[in-house]
Amino acid sequence: MLFNELGLSAELLRAVSEQGYTQPTPIQAKAIPEILKGVDVLAGAQTGTGKTAGFTLPLLHRLSETAPKGGHRPVRALVLTPTRELAAQVSESVRAYGKNLPLRSAVIFGGVSINPQISALRRGVDILVATPGRLLDHVSQKTLDLSKVEILVLDEADRMLDMGFIHDIKKVLALLPKARQNLLFSATFSDEIKRLSDGLLNKPVLIEVARRNTASETVEQVIHPVDKGNKRKLLSYLIGSENWQQVLVFTRTKHGANRLAQQLDKDGLSSAAIHGNKSQGARTRALADFKSGKVRVLVATDIAARGLDIDQLPHVVNYELPNVPEDYVHRIGRTGRAGNEGKAVSLLSLDENKLIRDIERLLKRQLPREVVAGFEPDPNAKPEPEVTRSRGNQGRNRNGGRASSGRGNGNSPYAGNGRGRNTSRHSRSANA
């Protein structure tokens, strides 16, 4: 199938062609025709398979058919995302694909000044991409009216629940017209997502292009057992000996990400860290330097597991395994995107055996183990006692940003206005 067989307008087809695409991915081929019909859709596909274009293209098509001519432009389509990075990525797609259409778009999230966002909204916006918290801040300041929204998109809906956004989502839903099209897109489908969809969607079309919660087949996965104290040395050895030029490394904590980036720098590997305590400017610079090759290793917490779209990223390393099995799928989904091959390496210490069992249970397969010569685990080692993690410090701020004024929970990895949230459904590291 080709894009010109999906029913999209000539303006959109020209934009798609300029991006270098001729054939839709499976999720695009199935979702676009259904969305064009105006029905509600619950869609799931492996990360990196083009979900964003799967809802962006038909959304642009439908709005362009009834685009207002002059005068005030109310928000007619709302896309909610859990993180700033994902909001920025979706906004870029809207601009790229809608460049030939008479539609205006804007993106709003925390961690940056609200004034330019207010100015953009006053000029009129057809398509708004937002994180929930900053969206509600605009509503409370009466700088945003959602009463004319025709299409609602929840991108990475499972992450919304995991990060405790459900209360904010309900507040947003109460501000929207009851008659609208609803689209839920996610890489993983949990039972909670199904329950959410039952109350939100009207006779939705269910689209799944692969078995749920699976990693892309283009990603080679391997586990290297190693003593915890030798992880950093092994990581430096792998990067150097195998000449990896672009590596995304995941840690569980913000402090751990900073420390590892500093250690790798001392090993002669240019590195940067990205996490929720970094300012938006620092996060943007680190990502830009990584994409350009100025930085060889980007060390990230799970804030980067979704929303980072890096062309042909060859290597992802789980320096520490995630506490939540689904996050493993999203982490390694940063490589092997758009049909490209990639490699995902996990450094497994003795105290992470339960975590890897949970991941393999989710994947329904055992991952291959390869011991690296010179880094053999001590057969007499004993696992360290597991640290009990207090849920009190696991708050996720609704803005997808970092704490700014010391209000509320300053340790919140997604804090943006200092108002911490403690509604995460999983037990997660306090500094994820």
Q: Which residues contact 117 (CB under 8 A, 6 or more apart)?
A: 106, 108, 134, 138, 143
Between residues 82 and 318, the one the model is more confident about: 318
CATH-assigned architecture of domain 3-208: 3-Layer(aba) Sandwich (3.40)
Per residue in 148-189, pLDDT (tens digit) is 999 999 998 877 776 678 889 989 999 999 999 999 987 767
Between residues 24 and 213, the one the model is more confident about: 24
Write down the pLDDT at residue 393: 36
User: If you write DSSP's letter for every residue of 219-250 in order, what string do you get?
Assistant: EEEEEEE--GGGHHHHHHHHHHHTT-SSEEEE
Residue 430: band (very low, low, confident or very high) from pLDDT cuts 50, 70, 90? very low
Write down the pLDDT at residue 297: 95
Element (H, E) at 44: strand 41-44
Backbone dihedral region for residue 243 (phi beyond 0: left; psi -120 to 50: alpha; all else: beta): left
CA distances from 403 to 181, 198, 277, 392, 419 (A): 34, 34, 7, 16, 8
Residue 194, both tokens: 């199904």
Question: At residue 209, does pLDDT exceed 90?
Answer: no
Per residue in 288-346, pLDDT (tens digit) is 898 889 999 999 988 755 556 676 788 999 999 998 887 888 788 777 665 567 899 99
Most confident of 336-340, 366-370, 409-413: 366-370
- How would you classify the pairing of strands 127-130 and 151-155? unpaired
CA distances from 271 to 33, 259, 347 (A): 43, 11, 18
Q: What are the residues facing 93 on neighbouring strands?
A: none
Question: At residue 374, does pLDDT exceed 80?
Answer: yes
Question: At residue 213, does pLDDT exceed 90?
Answer: no
CA distances from 191 to 76, 157, 209, 333 (A): 30, 12, 18, 21
CATH of domain 219-363: 3.40.50.300
Rounded Cα distance, 388 and 10, in Å? 57
Per residue in 91-102, pLDDT (tens digit) is 999 999 999 999
Question: At residue 276, does pLDDT exceed 60?
Answer: yes
Residue 280: band (very low, low, confident or very high) from pLDDT cuts 50, 70, 90? confident
Helix then strand then coil, in percent of the chain rounded to 5, is 40, 15, 45
Per residue in 129-156, pLDDT (tens digit) is 999 999 999 999 999 999 999 999 999 8
Residue boundaries of the structural domains of the chain = 3-208, 219-363, 387-432
238 close to 217: Cβ distance less than 8 angstroms: no
Rounded Cα distance, 246 and 241, in Å? 14
Question: At residue 377, does pLDDT exceed 90?
Answer: yes
Residue 177, both tokens: 């017209």
CA neighbor of 344 nearest in space, from 329, 359, 360, 362? 329
Phi, psi angles (nearest 5°) of residue 205: -85, 125
Question: At residue 398, does pLDDT exceed 90?
Answer: no
431 close to 253: Cβ distance less than 8 angstroms: yes
Most confident of 19-33, 384-398, 411-425: 19-33
User: If you write DSSP's letter for every residue of 373-389 in order, what string do you get?
Assistant: TT-PPPTT--PPPPPPP
Residue 273, both tokens: 């860290």
* CA angle in degrees (0–180, nearest 5) for 196-202-207: 75
- Mean pLDDT of all residues belonging to the chain: 82
Tell me whether residue 289 is exposed, middle or buried, using C-beta atoms within 10 angstroms of its C-beta: 0 to 12, 13 to 18, 19 or more: middle
Write down the pLDDT at residue 120: 94
263 close to 232: Cβ distance less than 8 angstroms: yes
Instruction: Give the Cβ contact number of residue 53 at 10 Å.
Output: 22
- Listed in sequence order, the DSSP H helices in 176-230 are 191-200
Please check whether the two domains, 3-208 and 219-363, share a CATH topology.
yes
Average of pLDDT values for 408-421? 31
Residue 303, both tokens: 């804030």
